[in-house]
Structure 1
């Protein structure tokens, strides 16, 4: 059995049977719409959720920067120079995956996604080395004058998500961010391990993550489309696929809050 298959099996074993019980006079109907509104109880497990949901040793770092409207150009130039410094240090197990400007959603906002190969040990190593680079520190100090606020999360990728592949050409991205009810992450993973099969017709699945440090019980799904019309057609195609509606029905009750943003890659983003 492959490592990915083993992790998927763990997800399934962690799920108790979903039941609806409202009294002896009411029949239990697993297919009823009402049963889909109930959030199942997650049984105790001796494995951490991160081990059950992710089979990879990479750590992803998601920076969210809210930029002063009058400083966007200077900010992007500053970040581009920062990326060049990191790339010049070949010993770091750290690489930029994507940099984006938000075009729909929280305007004057930029997102940057980094990958560390080798776990948190590599995160610590990068911080030590970059922290001793005077040019890097100077750029970080300068960047603070361009920002209104910023936020950082460390993420793990879902084991069932397709392998991350950088894109070429002209594309737009959508990041759909979810804040889940505590204790429901395993059920989310169980349902999306099936749902992802309905969202690969146009190779739109770019990346899927859950938070490890920062705001917890957060999930980020990143999709890639040619344009907004392509997004519309791809999403409508998914709704026509038998089974997609059921996956949505089972995951919606797990969500406390959700929002989406449309992103455009920066000129220095590795994925376009």
Structure 2
């Protein structure tokens, strides 16, 4: 028996050596297999790809992964704006959103507000934090219904939008809480749609180990996973001085022992991913 070449493609065909925890990587496996001695090895390797042991889960993903010392809930908003209305949209957001952020009667804070630079064009992204979880979210919603200024803001905003969507998120326990930072910076929001598979959940993603590779330059801003909206979603938020700094930092990760192996074995968990490069608005706490 001669040399048998097995091509294993895992994940989607995304750029190789993308130095992020969730970057799918196409690998070529050249296995020297014989008809007798190596048959168990072949079977074992194939089973590791396609057969997973399903362990009973004793708690919800949110309880396994979320921070225990805080009950903060996050809301991530995506607003697709009519191109001719983007400037006016930004203006009213800069006038109204900071007032809600600064009002102590609302148990919420504006973490950051951006316009997408690379990715979906004419898009605004807002990230809110609700101190107190779902009760705080409900309290803010009820108070905003009685806020005349916000009602007028929503009415004006509705004429400027093509579409909008949001997600409710919890924060990974091993990420730092997003705090205001000075600029200028660019921000990258990397969003990952995980595969839905029996026995596989957000808690199987080895993010805690991987994040240690990317904390050297304080570029990690926050890590979140979805609770309501599009499910099995993970979001990582990063800050960089500029695009070249981003490139240098991401390339440097490949020189750290264990990074390539970690990326490779994370690949089968990912179904789809998206990267947005964003510019903070003038009133964003994250600059």
Is this a same-fold pair by TM over 0.5?
yes
Please say if residues 210 and 219 of structure 1, whose CA atoms lie closer than 8 Å, have aligned partners that are also in contact: yes
Deviation at 1:163, TM superposition (A): 3.3
| Other-structure match for 1:10 | none
> What aligned pairs does 1:45-60 form with structure 2 within 5 A after superposition?
45-55=57-67, 56-60=70-74
Aligned counterpart, 1:124: 138
Question: Matches of 1:36 and 1:158 in 2, distance apart?
Answer: 27
Tell me what 1:18 maps to. Answer: none
Which residue of structure 2 aligns with residue 114 of structure 1?
Answer: 128
- Structure 1 partner of 2:217: 202
> In 2, Cα distance between the equivalents of 1:41 and 1:134?
55
CA contact (8 A) 1:39 1:254 kept: no
Stretches of structure 2 that go unaligned for 5 or more consecutive residues are 1-35
Cα distance in 1, alignment partners of residues 141 and 224 from structure 2? 22
Give me the whole-angstrom Cα distance separating, in 1, the residues matched to 2:224 and 2:86: 27
Equivalents in 2 of 1:119, 1:162: separation in Å?
Answer: 18
What is the Cα deviation at residue 29 of structure 1? 10
Query: Aligned residue for 1:185?
Result: 202
Inter-partner Cα distance in structure 2 for 1:46 and 1:25: 36
Q: Structure 1 residues 196 and 135, CA, compared in 2 at 3 Å: closer, same or farther?
A: same
| Distance of 1:207 and 1:42 partners within structure 2 | 30
Among 148, 151, 155, which residue is 2:169 paired with?
Answer: 155
Contact 2:111 2:178 in 1 (8 A): no
TM-score of the aligned structures, taking structure 2 as reference length: 0.81
Q: Over aligned residue pairs, what C-alpha RMSD do you find?
A: 2.1
1:168-179 matches, within 5 Å, as: 168-179=182-193
Question: CA, structure 1 residues 268+224, in 2 after alignment: closer, same or farther (shift >3 Å)?
Answer: same
* Residue 88 of structure 1: how far off its partner (Å): 4.9
Return the alpha-carbon distance in structure 2 between the equivalents of residues 160 and 28 of structure 1.
37
Q: Report how far residue 162 of structure 1 moved.
A: 2.4
Distance 2:279 2:102 in 1: 25
1: distance between equivalents of 2:183 and 2:102? 25
Partners in 2 of 1:202 and 1:68 — Cα distance?
36
CA distance in 2, matches of 1:76, 1:35: 52
Gaps of 5+ in 1: 1-22
Q: Does 1:67 align with 2:81?
A: yes
Contact 1:85-1:136 within 8 A present in 2 as well: no
Who wins on radius of gyration, i.e. which is larger?
A: 2
Asked if 1:243 corresponds to 2:254, the answer is no
Task: Answer whether contact 2:115 2:122 (CA < 8 A) is retained.
Answer: yes
- String of CA shifts for 1:186-233, please: whole Å, max 9, x gaps: 111xx1110000001111111100000000001100111000000000
CA distance in 1, matches of 2:48, 2:256: 19
Given that 2:98 and 2:283 are in contact with CA atoms closer than 8 Å, whether structure 1 keeps it comes out as no
CA distance in 2, matches of 1:263, 1:36: 38
> What is the CA–CA distance in structure 1 between the aligned matches of 2:207 and 2:101, rounded to whole Å?
34
| Separation of aligned partners in 1, 2:77 and 2:127 | 7
TM-score under structure 1 length normalisation: 0.85
